[in-house]
Amino acid sequence: MIRKKTMALLCVLLTAATAPMIRPAVTPGPSPVPVTGSATGSGAANPAAPPALVASDLGAWLDGYMPAALKAGKIAGAEVSVVKDGAVLFKKGYGYADVAAKTPMDADATLMRLGSTSKLLTWTAVMQQVEAGKIDLNADVNRYLDFKITPKSGRAITMTDLMNHRGGFEEGLKDLLATDPAMMKSTERYLKENTRPFLFPAGAAPAYSNYGVALAGYIVQRVSGEPFETYVQRHILAPLQMRHTTLLQPLPAAFAGAMSKGYRTSDGQPTKFELVVTAPAGSTSSTAGDMANFMIAHLQDGRFGDTQILRPETARLMHSPTNPAPPGFDTLAHGFFYGTRNDTRVIGHGGDTIVFHTDLNLLPQKGVGIFVSFNSRGTQDAVYGARERLFELFMDRYFPAVGTKTPPAIASAAQDAATLAGHYESTRRVETGFISLFYLIQQEQVVANADGTISLPSIEDKKFREIAPGLWRETDGPRQLMASDVGGRRTILDSTNPAGELQAVPVWRNAALIQLVAGLSLLTLVMTVIVWPIAAWLRRRDRLPPVATGRAALVRRLTRIAAVAVLLYLVGWYTVLAPILDTQVDVYNKGLDGTIRVLQVAALVPAVAAVIGVWNAVIAFRQRFDWAVRLRAVIVAAALVALLWLAWMGGLIGWSLNY
């Protein structure tokens, strides 16, 4: 259960979903979420001619799929819009915007939270400023800022790096989402107060970053001279007649009444309105009808009716890849996720808050776009499977692939699988602050199967066969993994996730080892605390002499007190970490700083406890206690030292309030 919930947080990490058409193999992260089905398209051949993509057939198909998906997943409601050849082909709401009031979803009037699909508005604004000559995609972003971003090493960070999620930033959780308007920050304040540390040099590795997108939005604000939300309203929403869309938070009165309620599950109570603090990365509220206009503009090289929000050459540049990728692997196109599904080029972006979940995909060569947004997470996070399955079935129905056969495995496949097996961590992670604990214990595992294939728990029911050195292909589909050494570290690239990679972990960061050490150490301390009073009572009852006297007795007593203190210290941290297990992200703001600071000071507890434990073990050997006493002393000392090490590794020891 902990694995499922923490994976849900780390994959989504608020508004940070990658494109649902390109769901990552792991994380993100905040990220990455257990799903059923695949968003890559089945790749299966369809021997019959596909039905024509017309309103009557599409409506009948969606009317069959959507209500069943909502009911099965306990999802309250959803909206869908499909465009084709410059016009709206279909739009409709399903289920309820307000379950208690039985208010139906309305694709033209009911607002949904778009999460990271909002990033497409930000990247469109960036390209408008590129077109205006105010932003150079390859210039140091510090040229446009009133504070300095100092990269890890090497060259400066560029806007292209931000669009490719290659700025090198760590992920972050603090102040990403709020439900209390008093906790909102401006984008400028967020960027300056929550500067993210760097994991990688600019351009070196993909690592999905909300901070990087917020930085891009702030640059638009500075070079345009307009507040970001005002800029998008004037230069994108108004020209596209998106009258039911806003980036303002909280919602203005004119929009508040039309906002769908958000739910964990349709039979639960509605949640509070989610305020996305990294506004350019996920603050938009919109309808399926309005997003149809946005899709039409991008499918028509920036044109909507008589309005041109981008010049044709700028729009075509925006839709072109910014980073090369191996054949069959997805990449990024100036903020769009860019790939091929069922032999058809697809660009798009998905988005998630805690309860709202969105997907926008464009088929430029077909003149087709599809948008869907759900207002519930669903039972056991069912929305992810429903969302991805929708696009997969849409592609298989109207744009089926020509069936291809997976080549046979190469001779060294079994040996290579054994070499590849092990634990991996995503490039989208946190290594600074206490949130890093979850990334430390929640890693991906590559499993070598007896048949020479490999599998990953996060990619359910899929096996991969090595068809060329380092290239692994899904045995019954088009998805691929590429293994290589990058900077001396074994790295795996998923063909469906250009915004992250998996990196082999060193032994001291191996999740299996860490979980084993943590479990045994906690068990040891708990048993020590339980046995202590029982043993004392038994000795008094049987009138036995004490095991030790003098200084040895004092140190033994201090060791048991240390065990109690460390357990209380860990309970304190659990109260801080527990909300993550229920994806209550809004609690992580300055209101928690005092508690975190106290716990940071309390790091003296495991440090002193470890010293006492080792001292007790030394005395046990010096005073020639029997082997049982010595063994117990060594085990307890090892447990105390191990928990100190784990606290350090997991970021519980430190002084930063930026996490």
- 10-residue block means of pLDDT along the chain (659 residues)? 39 37 32 30 60 98 98 98 98 98 98 98 98 98 97 92 97 94 96 95 96 98 98 98 98 96 98 96 98 98 97 98 92 97 96 97 98 97 97 97 86 97 96 92 95 94 96 94 94 97 95 96 97 89 86 94 98 95 91 96 98 96 90 97 96 93
Amino acid at 26: V
C-alpha–C-alpha distance, residues 189 and 167, integer Å: 20
Q: What is the pLDDT of residue 47?
A: 56
* Virtual torsion, Cα 193, 198, 199, 200, nearest 10 deg: 150
Give ∠ CA 399-401-403 in degrees, rounded to 5. Answer: 160
C-alpha–C-alpha distance, residues 297 and 236, integer Å: 10
Residues in the chain, how many?
659
- Concatenating the DSSP letter of every residue in 362-429 gives EETTTTEEEEEEESB--GGGHHHHHHHHHHHHHHHHHSPBPP-PPPPPPTTHHHHHHHH-EEEEESS-
Q: Are 191 and 214 in contact (CB under 8 A)?
A: yes
Q: Are 436 and 580 in contact (CB under 8 A)?
A: no
For residue 303, give the H/E element and its range. Answer: strand 303-304
For residue 636, give the H/E element and its range. Answer: helix 627-649
Q: Are 254 and 109 in contact (CB under 8 A)?
A: no
Q: Which of 463, 447, 471, 453 is nearest to 414 (CA)?
A: 453
Q: Are 76 and 70 in contact (CB under 8 A)?
A: yes
C-alpha–C-alpha distance, residues 93 and 112, integer Å: 11
Q: Are 123 and 318 in contact (CB under 8 A)?
A: yes
99 contact partners, CB below 8 Å, separation of at least 6? 76, 261, 263, 266, 267, 270
Which domains can be identified in the chain, with CATH numbers? 2-398 (3.40.710.10), 514-649 (no CATH)
Q: What is the pLDDT of residue 403?
A: 75
Q: What is the pLDDT of residue 623?
A: 87
Q: Which two tokens stand for residue 270?
A: 């509605």
Amino acid at 524: T
C-alpha–C-alpha distance, residues 518 and 171, integer Å: 25
460 contact partners, CB below 8 Å, separation of at least 6? 34, 35, 36
For residue 95, give the H/E element and its range. Answer: strand 87-98
289 contact partners, CB below 8 Å, separation of at least 6? 81, 88, 91, 107, 108, 109, 244
Cis peptide before 34 (omega within 30 of 0): no
C-alpha–C-alpha distance, residues 580 and 592, integer Å: 14
CA atoms within 13 A on the CB side of 519: 7
Taking CB atoms within 8 Å and a gap of at least 24, the contacts of 604-609 are 605/562, 605/565, 605/566, 605/568, 605/569, 606/566, 606/569, 606/640, 606/643, 606/644, 606/647, 606/653, 607/644, 608/562, 609/562, 609/563, 609/565, 609/566, 609/640, 609/643, 609/644
Helix spans in 487-626 (H): 511-541, 550-581, 593-601, 604-622
Beta bridge partners of 77: 95
Q: What is the pLDDT of residue 468?
A: 97
Q: Are 610 and 603 in contact (CB under 8 A)?
A: no
